[in-house]
Amino acid sequence: MYKSKLPAEPTALVLGIIALVLGVAGCCCYDISAIIPLGLSIAGLVIANKSLRAYRENPEAYDQGSYRNVNTAKVINIVAVILNSLVFVFFIIFFAIYGTFISTAVLEGMRQGKFDEKEYNYEDDDDYEWESDSTEVQSEEYNIEKQIDSINIDSIIN
C-alpha cells in the first residue's frame, strides 16, 4: 500500500528555515526584519501542528519519514519563534532605554538654557555675512532699459 506525505511537509520546513535565517539577519539589522520571520515561523508552526494532528488521526495513511520531517519543521519553527521573539523584545527595550536617555539629555539642555535664543550668541557663527532677500531691483546695477508697451490698455478694458 502506498503511503502519502503529510500536506505541510515541505511548506513548514521551508518557512522554518527562512524564518531562522531572517531571524539571525534581524539581529544585525536592528530589529527591522524581526517581525517578518516571527510571522513566518508562527505560520510554519501552525501548519506543522495541523499536519501532525492529521497524522495522529490516521497514521496508516501517511509515511513515517514525512512525519519525521514535519516534526523537525515543528522544532525549527519553535526555535525561530523563540529567537525572533527575543530579538524583537530586546530591541524594543533597547530603543526605549535609548529614547529615555536622549529625551533626558534634551530636557536637561533646555533646563540649562542651551536652547534659549536669548542666550545663544549669533556673532560666533563663522562670521557669515547674511544677504537680504529683496524684490527691489536697482536699475543702475543691471542697466535695465524701460520699454514702452505698444498695446493700448484702455481699448482692451472698454
How do the domains of the chain map onto residue ranges? 9-88
pLDDT of residue 158: 56
Residues 6+ positions from 62 with CB-CB distance below 8 Å: 3, 4, 5, 6, 54, 55
| pLDDT in 10s for each residue of the chain, 158 residues | 578 888 888 899 999 999 988 888 766 766 566 788 889 999 999 999 999 999 999 888 888 888 999 999 999 999 999 988 888 888 888 888 888 888 887 777 777 766 555 555 555 555 555 566 556 555 555 555 555 555 666 666 65
Is 95 within 8 Å of 87 (Cβ atoms)? Answer: no
Length of the chain: 158
Measured over the CA atoms of residue 137, residue 139, residue 143 and residue 148, the dihedral's sign is positive
Alpha helices in 58-152 (DSSP H): 64-112, 139-142
pLDDT of residue 30: 61
pLDDT of residue 18: 92
